[in-house]
Chains A and B, each alone.
Chain A
């Protein structure tokens, strides 16, 4: 095993990786930007290194600064977490060139997974159904029109270099096609420096289900079951769970086997995820390969009892899988909710602020992965994800009920979050019944305001009155009274956030 690992990330995932390293006796080196001097991951690591200014391009996305930090501290390996450079082949190559072990797939795997046209072809070769689509190529509008006619609307124009819902345009009628191609091409050129596009049919009432895979990099792979991730808002997952509820056992076997087949064909190394869309009629389609540890990996950990980061490190250190398929046993059910700094009451506007106080739930079967502690400053430079609440139970009802309790117990002051939205989802009858499709949040939008119900309104009014009373009366009350009475205008405190007429 490695003596020292550098974590090229921040926030909850950096903290989560440190926990496993401690258990394995691996020393950890954190990196941080000027905005993260006091961040939890810096305090948790054995050592830490300043790598630059707050904007990601000058710190967490700077390959040069990360490699320099590794050299400075003598790390042998780098864990990229998710996001940032985790799926960037040039980073994996730079690590290898510097004699560092990159905890992740080979650079060529990252390139293939990052190119959605190549991934589709690879999936086809592994005999996995792909979503009906076409790659007309070039600017021949007639060829695009012919393919669009053949496939039929609604369609998506997608960027080859996109993925995770980025770089795509929906086409609902033939006359929208030309504009969508132009817009998507422009956007893809700017965002990815690669303007290749393809067409894909939109699947309605589909489910998003994915399979966790691990490969040894030499053609052997296993799966760790599936995750249901249909509850999404604007391509961001909000709830995930394992196993997928109400999934036909035959279909489940097929998607698990197909994921392992693809991983073996690719000689996949380390942790990865094969994403699928499941159609209403029982058909399944390959969506993409995520060549990294996923945000939602804890639900898999809770049902398998395995530590996925430990598996990643063991594969990287020893060059082989420490377990076989029959060592993977699923027990019970786990559900995760993602706490984002965003305000559902204002169109989900991302929120910044300083966390003044926080109480995380700690009930039976509950796990919280977070990078937040009291005093944490949440700025606009980084991801809005602040914490993941994960609950495990003997069955889905038990897990969902524990998650709802955990959401009710969570208290965070100083930063607006989507907590009330999450609570409303966890308590929604359709969620409790396991009726999940990717349009869940649109269908049920009217039920998800997360308003305090009338039965609790008197308590809420008493609490509001006390907050005002105590704020106005510093000192003379039990415990500390500080800035609650702060009546300075909140800079984000406008009805829409991004609003016409706003003062500069």
Chain B
């Protein structure tokens, strides 16, 4: 038997011999046959009163969550233990500090000037990586500090694009 705790819900999986398992989610038990599991590709047969349905999914544990692709669509299920910490980290880390490149890329546009007051979500710059344009946004209200990179600059991971300073007076 195994307890699997996600944020907001739990699952229990118990082997029932062979490839069959009992899966309980939200107090409801289902019999499930594991058809295949290979490098993240998962096929299951979910049995019910009148028959069964086959599910072909991609299911991958990635850090603090499990990401599932089913019928071309996607869902992410945060794990319970890490959920709170991950959320807190995102909120506190996003307001100020150096904005760094995480992929090698070229600066296409810088849309702010030093001293500008920016809102959370505002696009600060546009960077091209892997031939795709990607907007760089402020995570929270902030004031733009020094701008380190110029348009056309080739950034390596870790290079600082610009600094964001905490904006005390913002709501």
Contacts and interface: CB of A to CB of B under 8 A. Distances in A.
A404 B13 CA distance: 33
Query: Which interface class (under 10, 10 to 19, 20 to 34, 35 or more) fits A?
Result: 35 or more
Contact of A502 (B71, B75, B93, B129): B93
A323 interface: no
A414 B13 contact: no
Contact of B32 (A348, A462, A497): A462
Contacts of A481: 37
B1 to A, nearest CB: 10
Interface residues of B, number: 82
Interface string A469-491: 11111000111111111111111
Nearest to A472: B2
Contact of B139 (A183, A465, A496): A496
A374 B151 contact: no
Nearest to B56: A411
Nearest to A417: B69
Chain B at the A interface: mostly helix, strand, loop or mixed? strand
B14 to A, nearest CB: 10
A236 B126 CA distance: 14
B130 to A, nearest CB: 4
A459 B28 CA distance: 13
A460 B75 contact: yes
A478 B69 contact: no
A76 interface: no
A496 B94 contact: yes
B39 A491 contact: no
B90 A461 contact: no
Given A347-B137, A468-B61, A461 B77 contact: yes
B105 to A, nearest CB: 8
Interface in A40-63: none
B39 A500 contact: no
A357 to B, nearest CB: 4
Contacts of B34: 466, 470, 477-478
Contact of B151 (A190, A350, A356, A471): A190
A357 B102 contact: no
A397 to B, nearest CB: 18
B84 interface: no
Given A350-B132, A460-B68, A493-B63, A484 B76 contact: no
Nearest to A489: B63
Given A186-B152, A495-B90, A407 B72 contact: yes
Residue among A410, A485, A502 with max Cβ neighbours from chain B (10 Å): A502
A423 interface: yes
A496 B137 CA distance: 8
A498 B56 contact: no
Nearest to A453: B73
A372 to B, nearest CB: 14
